[in-house]
Amino acid sequence: MERQTFDLPVKKHQIFRRMDAATLAHQKTRKVLAIINNYVIFPLAISLFAGANLSYLYFATGATSIAIAAVGTIVPTAVVGLVQLAISNRFVAAKAWRQDAELSWLNSEMEKLEKEEDSLRDQIKGLQKDIKDYEKLLENEGGEIKAVDFVSVLRLKTTAIDNLYRELRSLKTSLDARELQLAELWEKLDESKENLDRLMTLMKEDQESVNKDKYIKRRFIPIRQLGVDEKGEGKGGMGSIYKAYDKNREKGERVVVLKFVKPGMLADETIIARFMTEARVLQKVPGTHYVQYIEDGELDRAAYTAITGIRLADGPPVPYIEMEYMTDQTLEEIIDIERRLEPEKVLAIGMHLAEGIGFLHEQGVAHRDIKPANIFLDTNYYRPRLGDLGIVKEEKDTGMTQTGTIMGSVSYMSPEAIMGQCKTHQDFARADVHSLAAAMFEMLTGTLPRGEGIKEMGKLMVEIATTDPPETIKVPGVTESLAAVILKGLASDPLDRYQSMQKYNEALYSVTL
């Protein structure tokens, strides 16, 4: 088998020789132009410049001398600049031609090297197959082929394989260098891909956040603010409430109440903490005794403005609580209309409320703001539900309300709460008993047990803290049994009162009408 020759190194040498010859020619051209510039053009420019100045000194005057001097100075200078520019451009063009030629050669040679490697591997496989064929032939013929001939053929084949492997190693070296360059490019590509993935993730998160904010803004359609006084300001102590239409996709569309912390209190961490406590408590209490809780969350300030119409400065999101919208009247509205309620209705309302507030106390929470304005009644007066839990106090909260702080509606507060003497959960629970008894007293009589008609806050607080409740309830139809339970709940000394809401409820159940 005739050995195939490989002239790749010769071709490479010829290419580089041609490139070197071109480069050498450019260098020679550059040297010749430099000699012309240094020994011909530059002396000529000096001579012309000198001649112009001599003519100015000895022969010419006026405009003629100026023209000669200008021609003798500007023209040689321009000629020298143009020649130098041509030389520079020629050299740059030659250098660019060499770089383009080298890049083109490297690209073509890369393809040739890969093809040559495949060809060499095929030839090696062919030679190895020939050797195996000779070995089998020697075994089969047993002596008809001379060992000398076999050894000669084997030596030729081995030499050819060695030459092929030598050229293959040379090709392999070139390929390794190219593979290293490719590995570096792949590494950079991986880094770019990772950066792109991170960017896409951030863009996706931003888009999800934008979509969520848009959904929140579209979800609630504001209707009007609730609980405002004649000045248009919210009556609530720390919260403002709005009637809105909720286009909730999962829970169904409905009219709801949205409660927010008042704008001026958003920076108060204590108020925010108390607001979140209300949300936690609302999740615990049954819907049969309290206004139904739907959810709580946060709105960005743009969504808050869309609902309330109040513009806020930039800052953190605004917390909100979503609750059931009650179409029923409040107990305060019914008392204003009917003035007094029948004892049977008062007793039924009181027992239902005591049961609900007792459940709250069992969870370690005190209401602290029981009053007719927070009690909603259905048409038959037998299913009252408590509303606002804005100033509830959990037993585990030790620092939210300091001793001496007054929380609640003063007209229904107990004397010890007025004086800021409530410290323990039992103290607050007994104060809740007093507030419910005061509300029941007003339902029966149409008046407050203490401070009736007093508008000034300071005088009202002094009146409640220093006077005892009435000794009797002189209203037609009110039995001594019912009056005794309510009046004990109004006792000035908390130790004379029922010690828990459960005890108060048991006493109401024992009342005879």
Minimal CA–CA distance to 470: which of 432, 444, 431?
444
CB 346 within 8 A of CB 440: yes
CB 9 within 8 A of CB 169: no
pLDDT band at 394 (very low <50, low <70, confident <90, very high): low
- Token pair, residue 20, equals 């070197």
Instruction: Select, from the ranges 2-11, 78-87, 209-218, 424-433, the one with the highest average predicted confidence (pLDDT).
Output: 424-433
Segment 463-501, tens digit of pLDDT? 999 999 999 998 999 999 999 999 999 999 999 999 999
Q: What is the pLDDT of residue 351?
A: 95
Q: Give the Å distances, CA to CA, from 399 to 8, 233, 388, 416.
A: 89, 30, 22, 19
Q: What is the pLDDT of residue 405?
A: 47
Q: What is the pLDDT of residue 139?
A: 62
Spell out the domain ranges in the chain. Answer: 8-145, 220-324, 329-509
Residues 6+ apart with CB under 8 A from 351: 505, 508, 509
Q: What is the pLDDT of residue 470?
A: 93
Residue type, position 373, single letter: A
Q: What is the pLDDT of residue 236?
A: 58
Question: Once rounded to an integer, what is the mean pLDDT over residues 19-27?
Answer: 63
pLDDT band at 17 (very low <50, low <70, confident <90, very high): low
CB 395 within 8 A of CB 429: no
Higher-confidence position of 21 and 357? 357
Least confident of 36-40, 100-104, 473-477: 100-104
Higher-confidence position of 408 and 276? 276
Q: What is the pLDDT of residue 5?
A: 42
Task: Report the distance separating Cα 335 and Cα 225, nearest Å.
Answer: 23
CB 3 within 8 A of CB 163: yes
Task: Report the distance separating Cα 40 and Cα 144, nearest Å.
Answer: 86
Q: Return the beta strands (E) in 268-420 as ranges.
A: 293-299, 318-324, 329-330, 365-366, 375-377, 385-386, 393-394
Domain 329-509 has CATH 3.40.50.620: no
Per-residue three-class SS string for 412-477:
HCCHHHHCCCCCCHHHHHHHHHHHHHHHHHHHHHCCCCCCCCCCCHHHHHHHHHHCCCCCCCCCCC
- State the chain's mean pLDDT as an integer: 75
Q: What is the pLDDT of residue 500?
A: 95
Place of tokens 């993730």: 201
Least confident of 134-138, 141-145, 432-436: 141-145
Does residue 4 surpass a pLDDT of 50? no
Instruction: Select, from the ranges 32-36, 148-152, 387-391, 427-431, the one with the highest average predicted confidence (pLDDT).
Output: 427-431
Tell me the percentage of the chain whose pLDDT exceeds 70. Answer: 56
Does residue 144 surpass a pLDDT of 70? no
269 φ/ψ sector (left φ>0, alpha ψ -120 to 50, else beta): alpha
147 φ/ψ sector (left φ>0, alpha ψ -120 to 50, else beta): alpha
Q: What is the pLDDT of residue 107?
A: 60
Q: Is 366 helix (H, G, I), strand (E, B) or coil?
A: strand
Q: What is the pLDDT of residue 264?
A: 86
Q: Give the Å distances, CA to CA, from 190 to 179, 180, 196.
A: 16, 15, 10
pLDDT band at 506 (very low <50, low <70, confident <90, very high): very high
Segment 322-361, tens digit of pLDDT? 988 887 788 999 999 989 999 999 999 999 999 999 988 9
* CATH placement of domain 220-324: 3.30.200.20
Segment 249-294, tens digit of pLDDT? 676 788 888 999 888 888 888 888 888 888 888 887 777 888 888 8
- Token pair, residue 203, equals 């863009």
Task: Report the distance separating Cα 60 and Cα 450, nearest Å.
Answer: 127
Least confident of 24-38, 282-296, 391-405: 391-405
Residue type, position 135, single letter: E
Least confident of 139-143, 155-159, 191-195: 139-143
Does residue 94 surpass a pLDDT of 70? no
pLDDT band at 182 (very low <50, low <70, confident <90, very high): low
pLDDT band at 409 (very low <50, low <70, confident <90, very high): confident
Q: What is the pLDDT of residue 480?
A: 94
Task: Report the distance separating Cα 256 and Cα 259, nearest Å.
Answer: 10
Question: Once rounded to an integer, what is the mean pLDDT over residues 57-76?
Answer: 56
CB 375 within 8 A of CB 291: no
Q: What is the pLDDT of residue 253?
A: 80
Task: Report the distance separating Cα 490 and Cα 433, nearest Å.
Answer: 8
Does residue 402 surpass a pLDDT of 50? no
CB 500 within 8 A of CB 474: no
Does residue 403 surpass a pLDDT of 50? no
Q: Enumerate helices (H) and strands (E) in the chain, giving the number of each.
A: 13, 10
Segment 200-248, tens digit of pLDDT? 776 666 555 555 555 555 678 888 887 665 555 555 567 788 888 888 7
Does residue 319 surpass a pLDDT of 50? yes
- Token pair, residue 87, equals 């030389």
Tell me the percentage of the chain whose pLDDT exceeds 90. Answer: 25
Does residue 113 surpass a pLDDT of 50? yes
CB 328 within 8 A of CB 377: yes
Does residue 178 surpass a pLDDT of 80? no
Does residue 417 surpass a pLDDT of 80? yes
CA angle at residue 436 from 430 to 437, to 5 degrees? 90
Task: Report the distance separating Cα 11 and Cα 316, nearest Å.
Answer: 73
Question: Once rounded to an integer, what is the mean pLDDT over residues 114-121?
Answer: 73
Place of tokens 């579209």: 218
Does residue 69 surpass a pLDDT of 60? no
